[in-house]
Amino acid sequence: MSQQKSPPSDPVERPSLEQARDEHATLAREIAEHDKRYYEEDAPTVADAEYDALRRRYEALEAQYPELAAADSLTRTVGAKPSEKFSKIRHRVAMLSLANAFADEEVVDFVERVRRFLQIKPDAELLFTAEPKIDGLSLSLRYEAGRLVSAATRGDGAVGEDVTANARTVDDIPQVLKGRDVPEIVEVRGEVYLSHVDFAAINERQAAAGKQPFANPRNAAAGSLRQLDPSITASRPLHFFAYGWGEISTMPADTQFGMIEAFGRFGFNTNPWTRLCTTVEELLAQYRAIEAERATLGYDIDGVVYKVNALALQARLGFVSRSPRWALAHKFPAQQATTILDAIDINVGRTGSLNPLARLRPVTVGGVVVSNATLHNEDYIRGIGGNGEMIRDGVDIRIGDTVIVQRAGDVIPKVLDVVLDKRPPDSMPYVFPTHCPACGSHAVREVNPRTGKEDSVRRCTGGLICPAQSRERLKHFVSRNAFDIEGLGEQRIDELFADDLVRAPQDIFTLEARNAGKLQRLENRDRWGATSVKNLFAAIAARRTIAINRFIFALGIPHVGDTSAKLLGRHFSTFEAFRAAARAAADPASDAYAELTSIGGIGAVVADAIVEFFREAHNEELLDALLAEVTVEPAEAVTSDSPVAGKTVVFTGALEQMTREEAKAMAERLGAKVAGSVSKKTDIVVAGPGAGSKLNKAKEFDVQVMDEDGWFALVGRT
């Protein structure tokens, strides 16, 4: 008989501080995971009562040991207590995000990139708008016949929450639009925010009512808009700036600036700091001007957004991944704080990288308590700038040092500098381990065969025998954009791994069969129970068929993220085709290698990593074992109704009406695959003047050939 531990909600004898700290941290992770599933994914995996019990236990621990209630405690975050859900609204035009830049040079690159993409002559003018990036939450307001019909939060970009009733209580959001040129349908997008003064007043009221204060105006604005009771929203003076749009039946202007002016005429507030700029210098001057005003604006901003002004050019530039090529968010420098580096831990990543992590004396940076920060790699600690990053030439980082920590948005904090004056006289340079802390194997720095340079990352050579690698790989395998198996989160992987029940991905799929005969069945474990095991097996079974992009991403090939996996899936359609191409690409002179690197968004680094992955026999073995358990679904048929959707296109020769990059982006936007060389699989060759061997090959394979005019006649001027 297995011994049942008390369920988490039960009162226990007073735990020691150490025990309480452990349990508190475990509960925090568990609750955060449930919150994510509930709020972000709308797919809770536990009953409300079970969730409430976890929360109560968490709060009880904090009541016993107030020192556990740090500023980032879940008891202080917004929307902590789920009650009911909002209904959803699918955005007809996705709500995307912006690419970020921190340094001036990145702005220079952005402008150059745009000019190059559009082939704008050096002396020709190109206009941009520059406006504050409001630190609030974005909202999409739909008007039909001039009347507000719905309001949706951004959500995951595709589907947001219906907050219409709440939006109607916001004074800055017109119920009815003004003016003669209001389109029949228009979705106005912008940012909901709170002023500093109102934020302070709300927090005072919260405190007076014995409620937790909000951490910052953004959280308060989000918490106020996402209220189930609109009268609460109405009592919070939310504001709104309009800066963009979604679906729109007729365009009131043909420039970004003109659109903002139109929104002003319709009755919206638009940001008075919006300016038109022509050069990088003007953009940067506007950035500095806005930064200088930051403290006096009365609301939070976190940067300046630059947008190409002409909408026709925006359309040509299109999007890459989830952000437009025509815009850039130039963020203000992150917040910093000084603290002491108590220790350096080494974490072993999924690909075996030894990642140094700074353990810091806890310090508040921009309202968040930070106790860990990244130290990047061995060279960064040694002060010799491996991959270009270093503190200052020759300055190393030592345990005991007073360091400056920086936090930027959601990214993991980093150790930015050392205060040398405060370095203890007896400190010693840090000696980076040469053996993996997880498995004891040698950890080496590989030499890149292409560049001949030593990699700045030290990697464990243990491969799959290294528990850290296989465990991290498993966690990646079940993660949200990979297999995303409900009920199989990081903690359960840890547990199953520790007990040798799941050591490799394929083991997940044999778990049920093995469980049937086992004495120590999963059902008998603490916190599992018959229902959750049954649900887990059902969730695993449901994933025996998996979309190709998820499957490729799940493999954890270095550099192959979610976006690359999608591109690869779309390009090769079936996993067999991808696998065959990846094997054939082992020769960098092969057509297969050329095909791989010709896929928009897949560069040499990704291609090389793919080739390396398939070169490893143990990876091939893993694939065979896995494919015996799961079926990979081919990429979904392209839904675009363009005549080139699903076709393979090759552009060759000099293109005169568009750049090569633009041509490729356009074809891909229309659902075509763009290849670098002509083969039997090619459907269309678009040949400009000077086309040579590819044109001959096209004739040889009887492929349809057209010039640029023919291409535009086929696809239209999109």
| 78 lines the binding site for ligand IVH (CB under 6 A) | no
Tell me 184's DSSP state: S
AA letter at 388: G
Give the 3-state secondary structure percentages of the chain, helix then strand then coil, rounded to 5: 40, 20, 40
Rounded CA-CA distance 258/256 in Å is 5
Interface with ligand IVH, residue 139, by CB under 6 A? no
Q: Quick one: which of 234, 329, 444, 580 contacts ligand IVH (CB under 6 A)?
A: 329
Minimum Å gap between C-beta 329 and ligand IVH is: 5
Exactly one of 107, 134, 242, 557 binds ligand IVH (CB under 6 A); that residue is 134
Among 8, 223, 252, 324, the residue binding ligand IVH under the rule CB under 6 A is: 324
* Burial of 194 from C-beta contacts in 10 A (0-12 / 13-18 / 19+): buried
Per DSSP, the residues of 276-338 read: EE-SHHHHHHHHHHHHHHGGGSSB-EEEEEEEESBHHHHHHH-EETTEETTEEEEEPPPEEEE
CB 334 within 8 A of CB 406: yes
Size of the site for ligand IVH (CB under 6 A): 14
Contacts of 543 (CB under 8 A, 6+ apart): 483, 484, 485, 630
- Among the candidate windows 20-28, 129-137, 393-401, 432-440, which touches ligand IVH by CB under 6 A? 129-137
The number of residues making up the chain comes to 718
Question: CA end-to-end span of the chain, whole Å?
Answer: 69
Q: Which is closer to ligand IVH, CB of 331 or CB of 459?
A: 331
Stretch that binds ligand IVH, among 133-141, 176-184, 482-490, 517-525 (CB under 6 A): 133-141
Indicate whether 668 belongs to the interface with ligand IVH (CB under 6 A). no
Q: In terms of CB distance, is 408 or 685 closer to ligand IVH?
A: 408
* Residue from the set 45, 138, 169, 564 that interacts with ligand IVH by CB under 6 A: 138
Q: Which of residues 38, 243, 245, 578 is near ligand IVH by CB under 6 A? A: 243
With respect to ligand IVH, which residue has the nearer C-beta, 191 or 608?
Answer: 191
For residue 338, give both structure tokens: 């000084």
Residues 150-189 close enough to bind ligand IVH by CB under 6 A: 154
Q: Out of 37, 57, 133, 382, point to the residue binding ligand IVH (CB under 6 A).
A: 133
Site of tokens 């057209």: 706
Shortest distance, CB of residue 485 to ligand IVH, whole angstroms? Answer: 30
Among 305, 280, 301, 281, residue whose Cα is nearest residue 291: 301
Cβ proximity to ligand IVH: between 155 and 352 the closer is: 155
Q: Is position 36 annotated as part of the catalytic site?
A: no
Measured at CB, which residue is nearest to ligand IVH? 138
CA angle 402, 405, 410 (to 5 degrees): 160
Residue 243 C-beta: closest distance to ligand IVH, Å: 4
Amino acid (1-letter code) at residue 703: V
CB of 265 to ligand IVH, least distance (A): 19
Question: 480, 553 in Cβ contact below 8 A?
Answer: no
| Given 36, 133, 681, 699, the catalytic residue | 133
Stretch that binds ligand IVH, among 132-140, 407-415, 484-492, 583-591 (CB under 6 A): 132-140
Q: Which amino acid is at 37?
A: R
131 binds ligand IVH (CB under 6 A): yes
Q: Using the rule CB under 6 A, is 98 a contact of ligand IVH?
A: yes
Q: State how far the Cα of 674 lies from the Cα of 228, in Å rounded to an integer.
A: 48
Q: List residues near ligand IVH by CB under 6 A.
A: 96-98, 131, 133-134, 138, 154, 191, 243-244, 305, 324, 329
As annotated, the active-site residues are: 133
